[in-house]
Amino acid sequence: MRDVYIVGIGMSKWGEVWQQSLRDLHTDAALKAIENAGVDHIDGMYTGCMTGGMFIGQEHLASLLTDYMGMSGIPAVRVEAACASGGMAIRAAFIEIASGMSDIVMASGVEKMTDCSGEEATQALAAAADQEYEVFHGATFPGLYALMANAHMAKYGTTRDMLSAVAVKNHHNGSMNPVAQYPFKVSMDQVANSVMVADPLHILDCSPITDGAAAAILCTKEVAKATGKPYIKILGSGAGTDTIQLSQRADLTTIKAATIAADSAFKMAGKTIKDMQFAEVHDCFSIAEIMVAESIGKFEPGKAGPAILNGETALDGAFPMNPSGGLKSKGHPVGATGVAQIAEVYKQLTGQAENGRQIPNSPKIGMTQNMGGSGGSSVVHIMEVA
Amino acid sequence: MRDVYIVGIGMSKWGEVWQQSLRDLHTDAALKAIENAGVDHIDGMYTGCMTGGMFIGQEHLASLLTDYMGMSGIPAVRVEAACASGGMAIRAAFIEIASGMSDIVMASGVEKMTDCSGEEATQALAAAADQEYEVFHGATFPGLYALMANAHMAKYGTTRDMLSAVAVKNHHNGSMNPVAQYPFKVSMDQVANSVMVADPLHILDCSPITDGAAAAILCTKEVAKATGKPYIKILGSGAGTDTIQLSQRADLTTIKAATIAADSAFKMAGKTIKDMQFAEVHDCFSIAEIMVAESIGKFEPGKAGPAILNGETALDGAFPMNPSGGLKSKGHPVGATGVAQIAEVYKQLTGQAENGRQIPNSPKIGMTQNMGGSGGSSVVHIMEVA
pLDDT at residue A65, rounded to an integer: 98
What stretches of A209-281 show up as alpha helix (H) in DSSP? Answer: 221-227, 256-269
With 0-12 / 13-18 / 19 or more C-beta atoms within 10 angstroms meaning exposed / middle / buried, residue B229 is middle
> In percent, how much of chain A has pLDDT > 90?
100
Are residues A242 and B72, on separate chains, in Cβ contact within 8 Å?
yes
pLDDT at residue B64, rounded to an integer: 98
Over residues A253-280, the mean pLDDT reads 98
- Determine the residue among A23, A63, A249, A374 to mutate to test chain B binding: the one whose Cβ has the most chain B Cβ atoms within 10 Å: A63
pLDDT digits (tens, 9 = 90+) for B307-329: 999 999 999 999 999 999 999 99
Predicted confidence band of residue B78 (pLDDT cuts 50, 70, 90) = very high
**Minimal C-alpha gap between A227 and chain B (Å):** 25
**Minimal C-alpha gap between A154 and chain B (Å):** 26
For residue A379, give every residue at least 6 positions away whose Cβ sits within 8 Å of its Cβ, in sequence order, or none: A81, A84, A87, A88, A90, A91, A237, A238, A239, A240, A261, A338, A369, A370
Reported as half-sphere exposure (CB side, CA atoms, 13 A), residue B297 has a value of 17
Q: Say how many Å lie between the first and final Cα of chain B, rounded.
A: 17
Over residues A39-45, the mean pLDDT reads 98
The Cα-based distances of B172 to A340, B17, B328, B346 in angstroms read 52, 22, 11, 20
Mean pLDDT taken over chain A: 97
Are residues A66 and B99, on separate chains, in Cβ contact within 8 Å?
no
Domains, chain B, in order of start with CATH, read 4-117+210-232 (3.40.47.10), 129-206+234-385 (3.40.47.10)
Over residues A376-382, the mean pLDDT reads 98
pLDDT at residue B225, rounded to an integer: 98
Q: Are A368 and A348 in contact (CB under 8 A)?
A: no
**Closest chain A residue to B86, measured at CA:** A77
Put simply, the chain B residues between 38 and 77 with a CB less than 8 A from any chain A CB are 44, 50-54, 56-64, 66-67, 72-77
Residues of B acting as catalytic residues: 83, 332
pLDDT at residue A11, rounded to an integer: 98
- Determine the residue among B80, B134, B144 to mutate to test chain A binding: the one whose Cβ has the most chain A Cβ atoms within 10 Å: B80
pLDDT digits (tens, 9 = 90+) for A327-366: 999 999 999 999 999 999 999 999 999 999 999 999 999 9
pLDDT at residue A88, rounded to an integer: 98
Specify the DSSP element, H or E, that contains A369: strand A365-372
- Determine the residue among B26, B77, B140, B374 to mutate to test chain A binding: the one whose Cβ has the most chain A Cβ atoms within 10 Å: B77
Over residues A50-68, the mean pLDDT reads 97
Judge whether A284 counts as a catalytic residue.
no
ipTM of the complex: 0.97
Taking the C-alpha atoms of residue A183 and residue A370, their distance in angstroms, rounded to an integer, is 21
Q: Is A231 helix (H, G, I), strand (E, B) or coil?
A: coil
Q: Tell me the angle at which helices B160-174 and B286-295 cross, rounded to the nearest 10 degrees.
A: 100
| Residue in A83, A206, A219, A284 annotated catalytic | A83
Instruction: Output phi, psi for B278, to 5 deg.
Output: -165, 170
Taking the C-alpha atoms of residue A169 and residue A320, their distance in angstroms, rounded to an integer, is 10
pLDDT digits (tens, 9 = 90+) for B142-190: 999 999 999 999 999 999 999 999 999 999 999 999 999 999 999 999 9
Mean pLDDT taken over chain B: 97
pLDDT digits (tens, 9 = 90+) for A77-131: 999 999 999 999 999 999 999 999 999 999 999 999 999 999 999 999 999 999 9
Q: Are A285 and A150 in contact (CB under 8 A)?
A: no
Over residues B300-304, the mean pLDDT reads 98
Residues in chain A: 386
Size of interface A-B (CB pairs under 8 A): 224
Name every chain B residue with its beta carbon within 8 A of the beta carbon of A256. 73
Count of CB atoms situated within 10 Å of the CB of A114: 18
With 0-12 / 13-18 / 19 or more C-beta atoms within 10 angstroms meaning exposed / middle / buried, residue B145 is buried
Q: Of B156, B162, B152, which Cα lies nearest the Cα of B311?
A: B162
Name every chain A residue with its beta carbon within 8 A of the beta carbon of B53. 51, 53-54, 124, 127
Taking the C-alpha atoms of residue A240 and residue B76, their distance in angstroms, rounded to an integer, is 7
A87 — contact with chain B (CB < 8 Å)? no
Taking the C-alpha atoms of residue B95 and residue A105, their distance in angstroms, rounded to an integer, is 13
**Minimal C-alpha gap between A61 and chain B (Å):** 7
**Closest chain A residue to B256, measured at CA:** A73
Alpha carbon A153 to its chain's center: 25
Taking the C-alpha atoms of residue B378 and residue B343, their distance in angstroms, rounded to an integer, is 18
